[in-house]
A and B are shown apart, each in its own frame.
Chain A
Amino acid sequence: MAGLPGLFAGTANAAWELNLQAPATDLARRVYDLHSLLLWVIVVIFVGVFAVVAYSLVFHRKSKGHKAADFHDNTTVEIAWTVIPTLILIAIAFPATSTLVQMRDTSQPDMTIKVTGYQWKWGYEYVTGDAAGVKYMSVLSTPRDQIENKVPKGEHYLLEVDRPLVVPVGKKVRLLLTSSDVIHNWSVPAFAVKTDAVPGFLRDTWFRAEKEGTYRGQCSELCGKDHGFMPVVVEVVSAEKYAAWTADQKKAMAAVADDPAKVWKLDELVARGEKVYTANCAACHQPNGQGLPPAFPALDGSKIAKGPKAAHLDMVIKGKPGTAMAAFGAQLSDTDIAAVVAYERNAWNNKLGEVIQPAEVKALRGK
């Protein structure tokens, strides 16, 4: 029975996939082969053992008049079936070890990207290479309506993001993983990469994609409510496309950089804040501001959102340790924080009519 995946490999279509995903790196191919080897080993053992059982079941039954033999020890066979499995295990330990050693060799990367897990999105920051300095968030882009079965599901349902990780083909990419809240896990099966993002620690892993294309994975460590909704998408592109993408990113970064001294008007601020809110806060506090009490408090009418400005800003900048409320000061710019807080204080029933300037955020951050 355990042999099925091996027999059907290759003939399977997408929906009836029976084996590991098609490997897209040298390492993934080695893992694939190692798994195939193991599969054959266990199938052979299984068939061998249960052939004996089947023989007994058929020929040694009482209903056929078989009389029980009287033996209950035999040192020779007992030694044999201790030694033979040991030898089999030693044999498979060799490829298993060498594959693992290769897997852990993160030395001499062509570029390094820092990956940060957030509840429930991924942050990417290019640390070395041409794109050094580029930094953005990658969030699930499947519409809510598809998840709630209100409209038909798209082709890449739950495996699509607004901004994938973009890397050049054929380059050794080293990832530095960490997390801002709970443990997440960055995983792309086609690369044979799966590493925990542990808050407070950096862990590294690597891959070298062989073919251009889009590769998909998912967060693989239970990280709370939306654990099932934080996919990983990697776009592997040619060197030229990568250069173009890098240039675009740099230009875009320069363009959106806010003038910290700008004085914002209320409607501008609220419009900007709504975007920030949808991207960062709505997962917990919900688009309508009602939250999901008691785990995630409502902001509509909340004491903090209607109370003094400073306390509200403080909550957003520093978060609340020990709860899911993260310190957004580390993720958002002064302008974004000003905007989102202004939005919260003016949206729903919180019509306070207050304006908050980035400078106020800056002043509070120091404290």
Chain B
Amino acid sequence: MQASQHAAHAGHHEDDSHGHGPTGLMRWITTTNHKDIGSMYLWFSFAMFLVGGAMSLIIRTELLSPGLQYLSPEFYNQMLTLHALIMVFGAIMPAFVGFANWMIPMMIGAPDMAFARMNNWSFWLLPPAAILLTASLFVPGGAAGTGWTLYPPLSIQMGIGMDMAIFAVHILGMSSIMGSINIITTILNMRTPGMTLMKMPLFCWTWLVTAFLLIASMPILAGAVTMLLTDRHFGTSFFNAAGGGDPVLFQHIFWFFGHPEVYIIALPAFGVVSHVIPAFSRKHLFGYTSMVYAIAAIGLISFFVWAHHMYVTGIPLTGQLYFMYATMLIAIPTGVKVFNWVTTMWRGSLTFETPMLFALGFLVLFTIGGLTGLVLAMTAVDIQLQDTYYVVAHFHYVMVAGALFSAYAGLYYWLPKWTGHMYNEGLGKLHFWLSMIFFNIAFFPQHFLGLAGMPRRIPDYAQQFADFNMISSIGSFGFGFSQLLVLVVVFQAMKGGAKAEARPWDGARGLEWTVPSPAPHHTFEEPPPFDPAEAHG
């Protein structure tokens, strides 16, 4: 086995039919290949998306009309918590780690990730965490019913399911930290000669900053849930006023992680869009340098705004003012990014294939979500809107229409490179338009519900909220079932279809398009020459 491995490394291979190494299931379990691992991340993430999505549909079914129909209130809370945890940690984050695995080595001309074996572990830590989370539904007392924010003292009251969620978070944290160390090291140490940091594809830049955010914030979350665990089982008083602690302390620690977390979700999405828009505008990305600075600024500021989630907890006025101003600051670098994308399209030569449609959908809807975020940043207004559906609308605009749409843009953009086949453009466009329409039907009315005062996290509501909730639920069903189209598109492209060229998009730039489609199992065993024409910016 070792001997043939040696031979395999001797030269470039057109395909991956190695006679050596484990095959079948063992190939996937033991693989150290960044493309295999990237694919596993993406499949895992989609599976989790279906599970988390199914939970959201259960939620929306209960909310279809007033009164308690199908769920007990406890079960509703459990669905809510697992929906959020699974979507955030199981679906969206792994999806972008999957992109990172597949694309970063190919974009910078590296043979693989810096630590290929640890890379495998980062992935294989996810299933145990997913098992702990989903299994917690079936233990006595059920899953944690605290919302994904796990606030004590409510989380102190919970049963075994809470402990399982805590350990799941620990394991997810390990996975994220190892994955991030890998990504940072790969980017810093394995770029092909000539590719300076300021010539690096933007997706790599967003991931560089994201990985930093992860390494800095995941340990904080681990600390927070560790304190929860000892408060629950070992009699400590971190979050108990009688012992001199403070329940609000948890919120500070949680959101010190939680706010960077939302940019951990958003930044790689920005990265993908920064590739797709130039490609289909057939122009260079406008303002590469300011994009890089904006990414860095967003990453940095995100550590100093956490208490905008805590305006109603009774923090002092000076605190509220500081966090309000700091939060407003983030609009500036984010605005720079939006303007740069807009200007990239300006006087371009635009075409509207599915990746571009999703990128445009992202641009419109993310901006709406960002602007409502700005409304929420104003403390006095947030006090009206905190814990209402306005917040729910805000974050689904930035996370579903923002992150998820951008992930779809990336999927359609790179699918030819992965499978070697063009996807079915008609189905892709159908998927986009259904998603776009139903998404807005599902989530736009939630702004009105929130303004009118409907609290979030309730299984039943007053009658004046009935109409918009019904609309929202119908939209959610439409949106959810439209997502199954992706499976069809991906399976078709894996099975066959028009042969994809090495560079299927004429406006696309970057080293990944210099290798054949499908990308051979091993790319760039020797660092490729860096062609400035492939550089970004």
Interface residues of A (CB under 8 A from B): 1-2, 5, 14-21, 30-31, 34-35, 38-39, 42, 45-46, 49-50, 52-53, 56-57, 60-63, 66-74, 77-78, 81-82, 85-86, 89, 92-93, 96-97, 99-101, 103-104, 146-149, 153, 155-159, 181-183, 185, 187, 189, 192-196, 198-201, 203, 217-229, 292, 294-295, 322-324
B147 neighbours in A (Cβ, 8 Å): 222
A201 neighbours in B (Cβ, 8 Å): 241, 246, 248, 314
Tell me whether B101 is interfacial, beta carbon within 8 Å: no
The 7 closest A-B pairs by CB, nearest first: A200-B241, A228-B458, A203-B314, A72-B284, A17-B452, A42-B371, A69-B347
A69 lies within 8 A of B74 (CB): no
Tell me whether B515 is interfacial, beta carbon within 8 Å: no
Q: What are 27 pairs between A and B in contact, CB < 8 Å?
A: A2-B447, A5-B448, A14-B464, A18-B451, A21-B452, A61-B351, A69-B283, A73-B288, A73-B289, A81-B336, A82-B332, A85-B335, A86-B332, A89-B332, A100-B379, A101-B317, A147-B67, A149-B68, A149-B69, A181-B153, A182-B151, A182-B154, A187-B387, A201-B314, A222-B147, A294-B140, A324-B157
A42 lies within 8 A of B374 (CB): yes
Residue of B nearest to A28 (CB): B384
B313 neighbours in A (Cβ, 8 Å): 196, 198, 203
Tell me whether B367 is interfacial, beta carbon within 8 Å: yes
B350 lies within 8 A of A17 (CB): no
Q: In whole Å, how far is B415's beta carbon from the nearest beta carbon of chain A?
A: 21
C-alpha gap A156/B342 in the complex (Å): 48
A69 lies within 8 A of B447 (CB): no
Tell me whether B145 is interfacial, beta carbon within 8 Å: yes
Q: In whole Å, how far is A214's beta carbon from the nearest beta carbon of chain B?
A: 14
B140 neighbours in A (Cβ, 8 Å): 294
B248 lies within 8 A of A198 (CB): yes
Q: Which of B27-35, B53-61, B298-306, B320-328 contacts A (4 or more CB under 8 A)?
A: B320-328
Residue of B nearest to A158 (CB): B462
Which of B141, B314, B364 has the most chain A CB within a 10 Å cutoff? B314
CB-contact partner of B371 in A2, A72, A158, A228, under 8 A: A2
Tell me whether B331 is interfacial, beta carbon within 8 Å: yes
Tell me whether B219 is interfacial, beta carbon within 8 Å: no
Q: In whole Å, how far is A121's beta carbon from the nearest beta carbon of chain B?
A: 15
B464 neighbours in A (Cβ, 8 Å): 14-15, 17
Tell me whether B242 is interfacial, beta carbon within 8 Å: yes
CB-contact partner of A45 in B371, B461, B537, under 8 A: B371
A15 lies within 8 A of B383 (CB): no
Tell me whether B286 is interfacial, beta carbon within 8 Å: yes
Given A67-B349, A100-B380, A157-B66, the answer on whether A183 and B153 have CB atoms closer than 8 Å is yes
C-alpha gap A15/B449 in the complex (Å): 10
A18 lies within 8 A of B448 (CB): yes
CB-contact partner of B451 in A20, A100, A183, under 8 A: A20
Tell me whether B105 is interfacial, beta carbon within 8 Å: no
Q: In whole Å, how far is A161's beta carbon from the nearest beta carbon of chain B?
A: 13
C-alpha gap A2/B387 in the complex (Å): 20
C-alpha gap A42/B371 in the complex (Å): 6
A185 lies within 8 A of B457 (CB): no
Tell me whether B339 is interfacial, beta carbon within 8 Å: yes
Which of B157, B281, B363 has the most chain A CB within a 10 Å cutoff? B157
CB-contact partner of A34 in B328, B368, B378, under 8 A: B378
Tell me whether B223 is interfacial, beta carbon within 8 Å: no
Tell me whether B345 is interfacial, beta carbon within 8 Å: yes
B159 neighbours in A (Cβ, 8 Å): 294-295
Q: In whole Å, how far is B443's beta carbon from the nearest beta carbon of chain A?
A: 11
B379 lies within 8 A of A96 (CB): yes
Given A19-B451, A196-B314, the answer on whether A35 and B381 have CB atoms closer than 8 Å is yes
B66 neighbours in A (Cβ, 8 Å): 153, 157-158
A187 neighbours in B (Cβ, 8 Å): 387, 455
CB-contact partner of B342 in A49, A62, A72, A146, under 8 A: A49
Given A5-B447, A78-B336, A222-B147, the answer on whether A92 and B378 have CB atoms closer than 8 Å is yes
B448 lies within 8 A of A17 (CB): yes
B283 lies within 8 A of A46 (CB): no
Which of B152, B154, B386 has the most chain A CB within a 10 Å cutoff? B154
Given A85-B331, A183-B154, the answer on whether A217 and B367 have CB atoms closer than 8 Å is no
Can you list, as one digit per residue, whether each of B120-145 has a CB less than 8 Å from chain A (1) or not (0)? Answer: 00000000000000000000111001
B157 lies within 8 A of A323 (CB): yes
Can you list, as one digit per residue, whether each of B67-91 has a CB less than 8 Å from chain A (1) or not (0)? Answer: 1110011100100000000000000
C-alpha gap A60/B351 in the complex (Å): 9
